[in-house]
Structure 1
Amino acid sequence: MGNQFQPAKWPRKLRSQEWYGGTSRDAIYHRGWLKNQGYPHDEFDGRPVIGILNTWSDLTPCNGHLRELAEKVKAGVWEAGGFPLEVPVFSASENTFRPTAMMFRNLAAMAVEETIRAQPLDGAVLLVGCDKTTPSLLMGAASTDIPSIAVSGGPMLNGRFRGERIGSGTHLWKFSEAIKAGDMTGDDFVEAEAAMSRSTGTCNTMGTASTMASIAEALGMAMSGNAAIPAVDSRRRVMAQMSGRRIVQMVKDDLKPSDIMTREAFENAIRVNGAIGGSTNAVIHLLAIAGRVGIDLTLDDWDQLGRDIPTIVNLMPSGKYLMEEFFYAGGLPVVIKHLGESGKLHKDALTVSGDVIWNEVKDAVNYNDDVILPVEKALADQGGIAVLRGNLAPNGAVLKPSAASPDLMVHRGRAVVFEDIDDYKAKINDDDLDIDETCIMVLKNCGPKGYPGMAEVGNMGLPPKILKKGITDMVRISDARMSGTAYGTIILHTSPEAAIGGPLAVVQTGDMIEVDVPGRRLHLDISEEELARRLAAWAPSIEAPPSGFAQLHHQHVEGADSGADYDFLKGCRGNPVPKDSH
């Protein structure tokens, strides 16, 4: 069985040939072991090796179908003359990880980076889905800068419960509040549970997973149309196969993340997030990805670039439809086309297709203008993400206007303080809690260091005695995150966080707080002298973990305002070939 394969005439020596090329002892060592899988000799003779970085896990239900998609990616790679090798990588599930999946996003990114750097890969297909898998793989790929393309797993099918369209996550919060208000029984909740998540895939709302799939497409790191195809739709498998074909050509062209994820690409992504009513979590993730590429992106960019972008995608939690309808209406290409037509798109930004983004979307058609709305019917005239600053948030805090109550966007209320999430849980159901609907709920010590990991607890449920009045929203402030599927007038990511002595740490029950979203102001109504006195008397209540990964996290995680990445992981470190030890 001789070598029948004639290697392509690549413009440069492939990285994988440092492992597999030639007849040295080391080359034979590397090839020989892999041949025990039944690969013929000619697979190693100049074909680009494509790593399929797969975040499948039984404990990551959003990604439970990614092994099937990996087979379609492999088919595409084979068809294009590449050599596909599937590689499992760290999979952080939002559903199961404690204390929070966000605690492990950076660990996952580090694992992906070192997987790419240490192994004979010329290109990478990033198989992603659940919230943290998309940013972590994009971060790892950006740090190594080998040709890479993202393939999302896609959203679940629509949920239906007793004739009502229900969204995963969004209705979890609604039904949970309905139980506390006495409007729903526990048995009904369990019945709704099965109807809520009735197929494989990510949340079917415009939660963080769908937001980050859209961000990947807007950045140019996924093929056009990738974001919205339902997980079980045959076209999702076609997308995977076509991406497998495409990555081989990207290796040949040496088309890298740094060529695609430019300043213009990040500006496009921020504006797309505003138009889709995307998750506040996208702020942290996009800041972190930009840091890996070396792009100077800030909270001010989020506020300025997204401020005049109408939210035109009518999806939960901001609107009424789900991802299935978004796909049928034309998906993200329609939204990007709208931005281009309104002068809010860098049309010449390059994508993984090798073409510019405008050519990818200019012929897109909106098939349902009740799902993708005309501007005059926008859910919010100023979608985007509002960045608030003031003496309570010197480094900024964020709010999603499209999911907030208009009558609470300017509000002054008495603070009711919970020192941490356990304090909140102990007090919130007590009818003796001194709180009414005009108050502002304040939650401390839930930031990157404080929780640790910055859990999605910022969308605090309201006290039952408030819910029983028919009140469904109050102003809530914390240094935590909230699920992208959640809604309400919720101020998040308050920086600096309480655990490191940010002003949030010294708010007391009874203090008055002023919120002015149009004015971008968040103010604790005490004197400068009193604030300084409290801060001087403050002492940390959160102890550093004694050992292990939690200690590494505590020592090196940065604030939410810069992406909550680790200080030693910022910037692109490239993909030099490691020394061979054999």
Structure 2
Amino acid sequence: MTRFVPAPWPRRLRSQEWFGGSGRDQIYHRGWMKNQGFPHDLFDGRPVIGILNTWSELTPCNAHLNVLADFVKRGVYEAGGFPVEVPVFSTSESAFRPTAMMFRNLAAMAVEEQMRGQPMDGCVLLVGCDKTTPSLLMAAASTDLPSIIVTGGPMLNGYYRNERVGSGTHLWKFSEAVKAGEMTPEEFAEAEASMSRSAGSCNTMGTASTMASMAEALGMALSGNAAIPAVDSRRRVMAQLSGRRIVQMVKDDLKPSDVLTRDAFENAIRTNAAIGGSTNAVIHLLAIAGRVGIDLTLDDWDRCGRDVPTIVNLMPSGKYLMEEFFYAGGLPVVIKRLGEAGLLHRDALTVSGQTAWEQVKDVVNHNPDVILPADKALTQSGGVVVLKGNLAPKGAVLKPSAASPHLMVHRGRAVVFEDIDDYKARINDEGLDIDETCVMVLKNCGPKGYPGMAEVGNMGLPPKVLRKGITDMVRISDARMSGTAYGTVCLHTSPEAAAGGPLAVVRDGDMIELDVPNRRLHLDIAEEELTARLAAWTPTHEVAESGYLWLHQTHVEGADTGADLSFLKGGRGAPVGKDSH
């Protein structure tokens, strides 16, 4: 590896185009800023650090980030920088409709233009909720300004009647228990209070914790950032240290393009396998890679993750939660284990200025029941399985650590739902012709179809099946699944139904074959029949005529390449624009 060589310092910074000098324009910019009480010497050439804050009271995972921002400011000031807090687009997983995923690209576009159009030399990206982390990473990758991630951290453990309650995971579990008659609605309501007992994001290895881990594994966050609970004082220390670090990154001109290399993405893919991370990481890492011009594909996910054991014993794959993961040593222990097993690009550069290996080589595993030995792994072949076949020519994904072993090879009769409304209207009907051997198929829930590709792929089972004690069936869709969910679920089927993919023409009664060991997803009809069905297909999904929804449906790409907007791919840099005054 060619070692990173810091740029010479001091040098003229980008922000000085706004603030440096005695001309009319510079006085204009400084003068307005001074109405906040900033002294003149803050504009003397020191790095201006944008604290891009996704705080919002409608984004509960991020509702404490305003506190962390103050600690970032302390660090920036201590290191000789000038911090400015900038509120940015916040995508709430729990509140945004039709789905937060539809707005990930909008958030990335909005933040990118704020970074490009304002006087920032470097950025601290304050994130937490599922889509805020990838959207700001995408923006940083596009502008290539020195940037560092600080996540808000997970909630504390939940408990209900002496049982650990994982946010999200137990929502699905308890909901199914109510439908099966094993839990009363009153008990479900009582359990609600235990699901979110402190500030922070999901305490399972859901998408928020997964993407925090991905940011750290990519090298875009300081080592140890991912698992610190939101209310632990060490989370505030991490924010302050990151504030200090970004100032030095600006001085060294250490940019996302220096960190987000192919080696970094391969490290992240293997880390995702080891932690039993969310399938959502597939779509987000593909999108981030597209922003820096790295040709990352679904085949890379299968190649890099196939032989990595899942060693983190966390829900939804295991039994513990993020709090225990932190106490055990957190992600640095996992990355060290990958390095010891020859599964880590050790020389990959990180925002700390050290390599991936240098910063973890001395860490210790404090709980081998949380971070397991390889011979006791939850599954020896972890990661995300990429399935292909005539039903998914461009691929579909499945998470083995959350699936049922007896369903990994399965042939069953299709029960088809044309869209999510059709599913909701029929799933509880006692007359629905379905049993546990069937394959549930959901269409028109992909990037164009839903629109936005909602987390509805883990379709709840019909009550009459649940009452038999069955908890899992094979399910196939072009949708996503919450990282907190579980089951033998084939997701992201590409091309999606709304784009005329083969999923669109599956009919009730068709036989479908799932063969995970051989990476195969097959619709068992003659090739001539499939061709004829596709030729006769016409779209049925609703198409927008205006607004962002129109922009999204018109330009969004498939899940197999990250579901980004086509015109946002590729780095564009952050040149200083012409002053309009």
Q: Deviations over 1:63-122 (max 9, x none)?
A: 010000000000000000000000000000000000000000000000110000000000
SS state at 1:361 partner: coil
**Residue 542 of structure 1: CA displacement?**
1.9
Distance 2:502 2:417 in 1: 15
Alignment match, 1:181: 180
**Partner of residue 66, structure 1:** 65
**Counterpart secondary structure, 1:416:** strand
CA distance in structure 1 between the partners assigned to 2:126 and 2:283 by the alignment: 21
Q: 1:420 aligned to 2:419? A: yes
Q: Using the alignment, how far apart are the partners of 1:349 and 1:10 within structure 2?
A: 24
Answering whether residue 222 of structure 2 is matched by residue 216 of structure 1, we say: no
State yes or no: 1:99 paired with 2:103.
no
Instruction: Give CA deviations for 1:313-372 in whole Å, capped at 9, x if unaligned.
Output: 000000000000000000000000000000000000000001111011001100000000
Q: Indicate conservation of the 8 Å contact 2:62/2:200, yes or no.
A: yes
> In 1, distance between residues paired with 2:347 and 2:302?
23
The amino acid of 1:77's aligned partner reads V
Q: TM-score, normalised by structure 2?
A: 0.99
Equivalent position SS for 1:424: helix
Q: Is the 8 A contact 2:204 2:321 kept in 1?
A: yes
> Where does residue 87 of structure 1 map in the other structure?
86
Structure 1 residue aligned with 2:45? 46
- How far off is 1:544 after superposition? 2.2
1:520 aligns with 2:519: yes
Q: Return the alpha-carbon distance in structure 1 between the equivalents of residues 543 and 441 of structure 2.
A: 23
Query: Helix, strand or coil: the match of 1:359?
Result: coil
Counterpart CA distance in 1 for 2:43 and 2:505 is 62
- What is the match of residue 206 of structure 1? 205
* Mapped partners of 1:187, 1:17: distance in 2: 61
- SS of equivalent residue, structure 1 residue 571: coil
- CA distance, structure 1, for counterparts of residue 9 and residue 411 of structure 2: 65
Deviation at 1:10, TM superposition (A): 3.1
Structure 1 stretches of at least 4 aligned residues deviating more than 4 Å after TM superposition: none
How far did 1:578 drift?
Answer: 1.1
Distance 2:193 2:572 in 1: 45
> 2:449–2:542: 8 Å Cα contact kept in structure 1?
no
Give the residue type in structure 2 aligned to 1:569: L
Deviations 1:395-441 (A, max 9, x none): 00000000000000000000000000000000000000000000000
Query: Are residue 322 (structure 1) and residue 314 (structure 2) matched?
Result: no
User: 1:522 and 1:249 mapped to 2: Cα distance?
Assistant: 49
Structure 2 counterparts to residues 142-541 of structure 1, below 5 A? 142-541=141-540
1:533 is paired with a residue of what secondary structure? Answer: helix
* 2: CA distance, partners of 1:44 / 1:186: 59
Q: How far is 1:13 from its partner?
A: 1.1
Give the whole-Å Cα distance in 1 for the aligned partners of 2:434 and 2:25. Answer: 70
Over aligned residue pairs, what C-alpha RMSD do you find? 0.8
User: How far apart, CA to CA, are the structure 2 residues paired with 1:155 and 1:95?
Assistant: 15
Secondary structure at 1:357's aligned position in 2?
coil
Deviation at 1:269, TM superposition (A): 0.2
Structure 1 position 569 matched with structure 2 position 560: no
- SS of the equivalent of 1:87 reads strand
SS in 2 for 1:32: helix
Give how far 1:543 is off: 3.6
C-alpha deviation, 1:11, in angstroms? 3.7
Judge conservation of contact 2:478–2:494 (CA < 8 Å) in 1: yes
Give the drift of 1:546.
Answer: 1.0
Amino acid at match of 1:385: V
- Letter of the 2:498 partner, please give it: A
Distance (Å, rounded) in 2 between the aligned partners of 1:307 and 1:209:
23
The residue type equivalent to 1:327 in the other structure is F
Distance 2:344 2:429 in 1: 50
Q: Which amino acid aligns with 2:121?
A: D
Q: Does 1:549 pair with 2:535? A: no
Comparing 10-19 and 289-298, the one that deviates more: 10-19
Pairwise CA distance, 1:61: 0.2
